[in-house]
Amino acid sequence: MCGIVGYCGPKRVVPVILEGLRRLEYRGYDSAGIVYLEDDKLVKFRAEGKLANLETRIDDAIVAPAHIGLGHTRWATHGAPTEENAHPHSDCTGDLVVVHNGIIENYHSLREELKAKGHVFTSETDTEVLAHLIEEHLENDLPKAVREAVKHVEGSFALGVLWAKNPDTLVAARNQSPLVLGVSDDIGSFMASDIPALLPYTNQVIFLEDREMAVLTADSYTITSLDTGEVVDKVVQFIEWNAAMAEKAGYKHFMLKEIYEQPQAITNTLSGRINPETGEVTIPEINFTGKDLESIDRIFLVACGTSWHAALVAKYWIEKYARIPVEVDIASEFRYRNLLIDERVMTISISQSGETADTLAGIRLAKQLGSKVITICNVVGSTMTREADGTVYTHAGPEIGVASTKAFTAQLVALFLMTLYFAQQKKTITAEKSIELGRAILDISTTIDNELPRIQNQISTLIESFYDSKDFLFVGRGLSYPIALEGALKLKEISYIHAEGYASGELKHGPIALIDKDMPILALVPQDAVYQKSISNVEEIKARQGRLILIGTAGDDHLQNITDDIVYMPKVHEDMNPILYTIPAQLLSYEIATRRGCDVDQPRNLAKSVTVE
């Protein structure tokens, strides 16, 4: 969602901020703005739409000899995505500006109170109240005014504040919305909503916690509690990602690059965690003994979107091998239902970003109810990793495309490792099974690496006859069912085609009524335990003239009696099919979306990191 970048230091501020905003574009936004201080005056530019619109307005400003400023990309919540509603927002004097991510829930009453005191508002946003509220408390101490102002605020915020009368200082504050500081010895101080914005300049970061405030100058930073004003000692963390990892590296889109990075992401996620001889898994980050696991009655898997699909796959694996009952919840539902959770429940949250508001609220609730909380996450130091009792990192590297691809397959790998780990600790699988499953997961990255270009070529030809369809179905059974859901989600997010995923066996209970000669249906039919059942469902579709596309196992000639549109996948261990069959589903969405001319990396209305409820 919204992106914040702030900088003060020896570099010219405008290029630093624009570069930072560009690197946050993946978060999703619909307007942008920038402000900097030049000759003691704030200079502000804002524009609707993409950053390019903003850049055309500030051509000359690029060379401005300015060294302190703030930038923002806004994902509209209160008020349309217009120039007037774009951040930064100013106080009545125009000397103080605020950029904000989050939602001020009591903005309406605050606005009325401030208007009654004579403040004049120029936008429909909740953010603007912050500028006026700080102004209301401002004498000559900006940090103090920010602290006083936020006492009146209910809701979530990550804030950047600049005051022309305090020309060397930026103030940052956070409550339930991510904000990270970048520090350096000689190139100044930074704030940003996410790490990629900082990577060209520094790998040394400090994660602000909820209700903390930072005062930044070019060569210093001080972090205090928003509530007590006391100084908080923070650890500077070193981030191993580099700036090039967040570049397209010759690929047309981040999404395609990230699809092709999956073999490496899988290898990195496995690295050092599995013994190739015995299949034995070690995950020091969670370190449960068999005895600890005996005291766990149930596991809750909590996530949103694509991460929820990873949870659905994991349910099959964990119940089959570790013999622990698993419930899977969409986080926005989990947090509002009457949960039967106590200390005998383990809650595992799954999140690429580690910042998803609903998932975060879910784990907080689970913790309150006594559950142990583990998170599977891709972003080092993100809020979820700091709040969970343990984190199993996926090592997929930065994922920039809004549609999650490599993070998903890395989540599946981490969940399979956890399954093996639980099963080994509980001794619910034999040593031979450990070797078999260990080999299966270790081999999958090479298989994908070998097959990716062929699958892409085949799919790019295949889609010609249905890329302009209005609707699409994805079906699968067993372990393929969550992948059907994932395929449908990918297609709808990036191509805007209406797509649904179904368990194949469920078709006859309603959705089969949709099938006719114009309805493309992608059916995942690997030769697995439910193969014959899947084929029967596919025959039912064929009998109703549905336009079938089959993804099946190499050598399965029977499929050619059903349709000509087949993508064959190499035979792998049955439990690896969800990881392997994700690849054609991703590529089908990618090829259709690019064929339709869609913006695959930044699809409309979507945000990479959903930090509001």
Determine if 493 is a binding residue for ligand M6R (CB under 6 A).
Answer: yes
Q: What's the rounded Cα separation, in Å, for the pair 36 and 16? A: 11
State the number of binding residues for ligand M6R (CB under 6 A). Answer: 15
Residue 313 or 429 with smaller CB distance to ligand M6R: 313
Two structure tokens written together for 275: 């013994």
How is the beta sheet containing 520-525 ordered, strand by strand? 498-503, 471-476, 520-525, 547-553, 566-569
The DSSP annotation for 210-265 comes to TTEEEEEETTEEEEEETTT--B-----EE----GGGGS-TT-SSHHHHHHHTHHHH
Element (H, E) at 359: helix 357-368
Build a one-symbol-per-residue string for 253-292: x at contacts with ligand M6R by CB under 6 A, - elsewhere.
----------------------------------------
Determine if 388 is a binding residue for ligand M6R (CB under 6 A).
Answer: no
Determine if 304 is a binding residue for ligand M6R (CB under 6 A).
Answer: yes
Residue 17 or 311 with smaller CB distance to ligand M6R: 311
What's the closest the beta carbon of residue 492 comes to ligand M6R, in angstroms? 10
What's the closest the beta carbon of residue 582 comes to ligand M6R, in angstroms? 12
What's the closest the beta carbon of residue 387 comes to ligand M6R, in angstroms? 14
- What residues pair up with 6 in beta bridges, in sequence order? 70, 191
Q: What's the rounded Cα separation, in Å, for the pair 6 and 174? A: 14
3-state DSSP percent of the chain in helix, strand and coil, to 5: 40, 20, 40
Q: What's the rounded Cα separation, in Å, for the pair 49 and 31? A: 5
Residue 95 or 194 with smaller CB distance to ligand M6R: 194
> What SS3 class is residue 45?
strand
Determine if 402 is a binding residue for ligand M6R (CB under 6 A).
Answer: yes
> What SS3 class is residue 6?
strand
* Member of 127, 189, 268, 352 binding ligand M6R (CB under 6 A): 352
Determine if 176 is a binding residue for ligand M6R (CB under 6 A).
Answer: no
Instruction: Name the maximum alpha-carbon separation found in the chain.
Output: 80
Build a one-symbol-per-residue string for 354-373: x at contacts with ligand M6R by CB under 6 A, - elsewhere.
--x--x--------------
* Member of 347, 371, 404, 527 binding ligand M6R (CB under 6 A): 404
- What residues pair up with 524 in beta bridges, in sequence order? 551
* Member of 85, 123, 306, 385 binding ligand M6R (CB under 6 A): 306
Q: What's the rounded Cα separation, in Å, for the pair 79 and 393? A: 37
Q: What's the rounded Cα separation, in Å, for the pair 389 and 374? A: 6
3-state secondary structure 548-593: EEEEEECCCHHHHHCCCCEEEECCCCHHHHHHHHHHHHHHHHHHHH
> What SS3 class is residue 502?
strand
Determine if 85 is a binding residue for ligand M6R (CB under 6 A).
Answer: no
Residue 127 or 378 with smaller CB distance to ligand M6R: 378
Residue 295 or 605 with smaller CB distance to ligand M6R: 605
Determine if 589 is a binding residue for ligand M6R (CB under 6 A).
Answer: no
* Member of 99, 142, 181, 610 binding ligand M6R (CB under 6 A): 610
Residue 90 or 349 with smaller CB distance to ligand M6R: 349
Which residues are known to be catalytic? 2, 608
Q: What's the rounded Cα separation, in Å, for the pair 2 and 7? A: 17
Determine if 353 is a binding residue for ligand M6R (CB under 6 A).
Answer: yes
How is the beta sheet containing 390-393 ordered, strand by strand? 326-330, 298-303, 345-351, 372-377, 390-393
Build a one-symbol-per-residue string for 88-117: x at contacts with ligand M6R by CB under 6 A, - elsewhere.
------------------------------
Residue 85 or 193 with smaller CB distance to ligand M6R: 193
Determine if 347 is a binding residue for ligand M6R (CB under 6 A).
Answer: no
Determine if 611 is a binding residue for ligand M6R (CB under 6 A).
Answer: no
Determine if 307 is a binding residue for ligand M6R (CB under 6 A).
Answer: yes
Stretch that binds ligand M6R, among 118-126, 304-312, 453-461, 524-532 (CB under 6 A): 304-312
Residue for token pair 């405008």: 14
Residues near ligand M6R, by CB under 6 A: 304-307, 351-353, 356, 359, 402-404, 493, 606, 610
